Amino acid sequence: VCWPLPDVKKCELLKLTSRRNPIEFNFRPSSTLEYEAMFEYILKEVDKQIGYILQESYGETFTNCKRR
């Protein structure tokens, strides 16, 4: 928590019993690089291994979408 606004002079870690401190790594915002890697590499690999399930169920896959 930082104050006073708009000219911040002091910041302290907000300590709550209702959540862990510091916030865990997997709860942080994702970067553009991570999103690009997910779409370019991870989803292609997932599609290779289990894309047939999506194809059978929905007629589409992650990497081979068509307009209907």
Q: 4 in helix, strand or coil?
A: coil
Q: Provide the pLDDT for residue 57.
A: 93
Q: Provide the pLDDT for residue 67.
A: 66
- pLDDT, one tens digit per residue, over 6-16 is 899 999 888 87
Q: Which residues pair with 10 in a beta bridge?
A: 3
Q: Give the DSSP H or E segment for 56.
A: helix 43-58
Give CA–CA dist 43/2, Å, rounded: 40
Contact assessment for residue 43 and residue 49, using Cβ atoms and an 8 Å cutoff: no
Q: Provide the pLDDT for residue 47.
A: 92
Distant-in-sequence, close-in-space partners of 21: CB < 8 Å, separation ≥ 6: 13, 14, 15
- pLDDT, one tens digit per residue, over 19-67 is 777 777 788 888 899 989 888 899 999 999 999 999 999 888 888 776 6
